[in-house]
Copies of this chain bind each other. A is one copy, B any other.
């Protein structure tokens, strides 16, 4: 029989059977990754973050970056997209809401776009198809105004 808990249904436990109630430890590396991520205006890959850390004089292993990124992803603190190579790109979630971006194929510029319509559509589609827990990935790519503008003095 089920026990009426207010905890999340996904409540992992350690090998010893102890529930993971503790928040992740606050280590220098994790803070560094988070800070570095906040400093990046656009989506970045784990390896770019690694390079950033290096040039910032911070010693962090690539492994740790990946693991921290996973943590942030699970906690919903970052937006994640995949580039055309299937690489994961992360961006610290600026605002509270879930947002989408239009990315320039030429210069990489990314702009957050209003997506209420899509959110509604996704929710609506869920209902219509009988699906639950519907999550969506929306990626817009194009050529930004600046890059599509013909250049004369170049």
Nearest residue, chain B, Cβ from A3: B150
* Interface 9-mer from A33-41, A57-65, A103-111: A103-111
Q: Is A6 part of the binding interface, using a Cβ–Cβ cutoff of 8 Å?
A: yes
Q: How large is the interface on A (under 10, 10 to 19, 20 to 34, 35 or more residues)?
A: 35 or more
A17 contacts partner chain B, Cβ-Cβ < 8 Å: no
**Copies of the chain in the assembly:** 2
Q: Are B135 and A122 in contact (CB under 8 A)?
A: no
Say yes or no: A140-B135 contact (C-beta < 8 A), given A118-B121, A129-B102: yes
What residue of chain B has the Cβ atom nearest to residue A104's Cβ?
B131
Q: Does A26 contact B (CB under 8 A)?
A: no
**Interface segment out of the listed A42-50, A90-98, A141-149:** A141-149
Contact in complex: B137, A138 (CB < 8 Å): yes
- The complex places the Cα of A5 from the Cα of B78 at a distance, in Å, of 35
Nearest residue (CB) in B for A87 is B86
Query: Complex: how many Å from CA A132 to CA B148?
Result: 7
Q: How far is the CA of A6 from the CA of B106 in the complex (A)?
A: 8
A137 CA to B81 CA, complexed, in Å: 11
**Which chain B residues border A104 with CB–CB below 8 Å?**
131
Interface assignment of A74: CB less than 8 Å from any CB of chain B: no
A117 at the interface (CB under 8 A from B): yes
Set of chain B residues within 8 Å of A141, measured between Cβ atoms: 134-137
- A131: B residues at CB distance < 8 A: 102, 104, 140, 142-145, 148
